[in-house]
Structure 1
Amino acid sequence: MDLVPEALPWLLALAGLVLFCASLEGLLRSYVLQLPYDWRAFAASMADFAGRRLIDGLGLTLAAPLLNWAYVNRLQTLELAGPQAYLLLFIGQEFCYYGYHRAAHRVRWFWATHAVHHSSNELNLCAAVRLGWTGKLSGTAVFFAPLIWLGFAPMAVAAAVAANLLYQFWLHASWIPKLGPLEWVFNTPSHHRVHHGSNTEYLDANFGGVLIVFDRLFGSFVEERADIAIRYGLNPPLLSHNPVHIATHAWVALARDLWHAGSCWRAVKMLLGPPGGRPKP
Structure 2
Amino acid sequence: MQDPTFPNIIFFAIPFFVIAMLLELYVTAKEGIKTYESKDAFSSIAMGLGNVFLGFFSKALVLLAFFYIYENFRLFTIPIVWWSFILIFFTDDFAYYWFHRISHECRLFWASHVVHHSSQHYNLSTALRQTWSGGFYSFVFWLWLPLLGFHPGMIILQMSISLIYQFWIHTEAIDKMPKWFETVFNTPSHHRVHHGRNPLYLDRNHAGILIIWDRMFGTFQPELKDEKVVYGLVKNINTYNPISIAFTEWIDLFKDFFSGRKSLKNRILYLFKPPGWRHDGTGQLSDDLRKEWLESNGNGS
CA distances 1:216-242 after superposition (whole Å, capped 9, x unpaired): 111000111111111100111222111
Cα distance between partner residues in 1 of 2:62 and 2:81: 28
Q: Hey, what does 1:47 align to over in structure 2?
A: 46
Q: 2:164 aligns with which of 163, 166, 180?
A: 166
Q: Hey, what does 2:211 align to over in structure 1?
A: 212
Q: Hey, what does 1:151 align to over in structure 2?
A: 149
CA distances 1:69-96 after superposition (whole Å, capped 9, x unpaired): 53220011111212x2121111111111
Q: Hey, what does 2:240 align to over in structure 1?
A: 241
Deviation at 1:44, TM superposition (A): 0.3
1:57-206 counterparts in 2 under 5 A? 57-59=56-58, 67-71=66-70, 72-82=72-82, 84-137=83-136, 139-179=137-177, 180-206=179-205
CA distance 1:64–1:161, change in 2 (3 Å): closer
Q: Does 1:272 align with 2:272?
A: yes
Deviation at 1:27, TM superposition (A): 5.0
Report which stretch shifted further, 165-174 or 254-263.
Answer: 254-263
CA distance 1:40–1:109, change in 2 (3 Å): same
- Contact 1:110–1:140 (8 Å) recurs in 2: yes
Deviation at 1:35, TM superposition (A): 4.8
CA distance 1:195–1:257, change in 2 (3 Å): same
Deviation at 1:2, TM superposition (A): 6.8
- Contact 1:61–1:136 (8 Å) recurs in 2: no
Cα distance between partner residues in 1 of 2:18 and 2:69: 35
- Contact 1:66–1:142 (8 Å) recurs in 2: no
Cα distance between partner residues in 1 of 2:10 and 2:173: 27
TM-score, length of structure 2 as denominator length: 0.85
1:32-43 counterparts in 2 under 5 A? 32-33=30-31, 35-36=33-34, 37-43=36-42
Cα distance between partner residues in 1 of 2:59 and 2:246: 17
Q: Which runs of 5+ in 1 are unaligned?
A: none
Letter in 2 for 1:116: V
Cα distance between partner residues in 2 of 1:18 and 1:64: 25
Letter in 1 for 2:140: V
Q: Percent of pairs identical after alignment?
A: 35
CA distance 1:63–1:106, change in 2 (3 Å): farther
3-state DSSP class of the match of 1:136?
A: helix
Cα distance between partner residues in 1 of 2:273 and 2:62: 20
3-state DSSP class of the match of 1:226?
A: coil
- Contact 1:23–1:126 (8 Å) recurs in 2: no
Deviation at 1:25, TM superposition (A): 2.5
Aligned alpha-carbon RMSD (Å) = 2.1
Report which stretch shifted further, 265-274 or 61-70.
Answer: 61-70
CA distance 1:104–1:61, change in 2 (3 Å): farther
CA distance 1:194–1:11, change in 2 (3 Å): closer
Deviation at 1:26, TM superposition (A): 3.0
Cα distance between partner residues in 2 of 1:105 and 1:44: 22
CA distance 1:278–1:60, change in 2 (3 Å): farther
Q: Which runs of 5+ in 2 are unaligned?
A: 282-301
Count of residue correspondences = 275
